[in-house]
Structure 1
Amino acid sequence: MALSTVPYALVVDDDPLIMMDTTSILEDAGFRFHEAMDGDDAKLVLAEHWENIILLFSDVDMPGKTNGFALARHVAEHWPAIEIVIASGHVLPRAGEMPEKATFISKPFNRRMIHEHLRKTLPDNKLPEPLKKAV
């Protein structure tokens, strides 16, 4: 199966309005996306679509057994090629809570903040064309 030239992100957030805003921002950055409302659902999406996902963008506080930090650790362990961005407006990560490769962004965020964060943190070979052009 050939990989799409448009990269996929998995967006995980239990707030539908934040989910819509985040997916719109990532779509403007050049991503297609999969969605999950919590960490447990995200694991199911990953099991099925991990081959085309290059970015996990997840909230921290969500219902279910798997919060954003646990999801980030799971992704880093099982799919180390997937880049990880964790976002929260309520919780800051403590030492060792996130995998070393994961990055954190505070909520509320906006389009410019996320695009700049992705430009700084994603390797060049994973940057979608719109982010490369907008420098």
Structure 2
Amino acid sequence: MTQDAPGDAPHALVVDDDVLILMDATSILEDAGFKVLEAMNVAQALEVLGEHHEAVQLLFTDVHMPGGADGFELARRTAENWPHIAVVVASGNAKPGPGDMPEKATFIGKPFSPEIVRHHVRKTLPDDKHPEPLKS
């Protein structure tokens, strides 16, 4: 699902199987200036990335989701296949162990606030990739 945003806004992909958290993260990233794509599991996320990877600047993913693969695997596959995409992984239950996340990815715990998300996105994305609202 694509949400409305300015046409030149960078894209973010939000992946979470909890609809309320998906909506919350989408809203936070839209307010930060992203055009947001959504997926509810790893298979959907990989499909979206396969189609839109050139426009996507940020992956924001949960860890535990249905379908076998988890957010750590999605983060690693994204970094391997599309290294230009910054990765933020969030979970309320899991903590990353050695080798779980790509080198430049960041991890945040749930529940998260808009301030925490914006801070980690600023830290993870290169400065020249920050949407206008994140630059301030």
Fold equivalence (TM over 0.5): yes
Q: In the alignment, is residue 104 of structure 1 matched against residue 128 of structure 2?
A: no
| Equivalent residue number for residue 30 of structure 2 | 27
Aligned mates of 1:30, 1:18 — CA distance in 2 = 18
**Letter matched to residue 107 of structure 1:** K
Gaps of 5+ in 1: none
| Equivalent residue number for residue 58 of structure 1 | 61
Runs of 4+ in 1 over 2 A off after TM superposition: none
- 8 Å CA contact 2:11, 2:57 repeated in 1: yes
Aligned mates of 1:71, 1:121 — CA distance in 2 = 17
Q: In the alignment, is residue 129 of structure 1 matched against residue 112 of structure 2?
A: no
Count of aligned residue pairs for this structure pair: 130
**Letter matched to residue 24 of structure 2:** D
Aligned mates of 1:113, 1:101 — CA distance in 2 = 17
- 8 Å CA contact 2:88, 2:124 repeated in 1: no
| Equivalent residue number for residue 45 of structure 1 | 48
1:120 Cα deviation after fit: 2.1
- 8 Å CA contact 1:40, 1:65 repeated in 2: no
The alignment partner of 1:51 has SS state of coil
Aligned-CA RMSD value: 0.9
1:44 Cα deviation after fit: 0.5
**Letter matched to residue 22 of structure 1:** A
**Letter matched to residue 52 of structure 1:** A
TM (norm. structure 2) is 0.93
The alignment partner of 2:53 has SS state of helix
Measured against aligned partners, the alpha-carbon deviations of 1:58-102 in whole angstroms (never above 9, x if no partner) come to 000000122000001110110000000000000000011111111
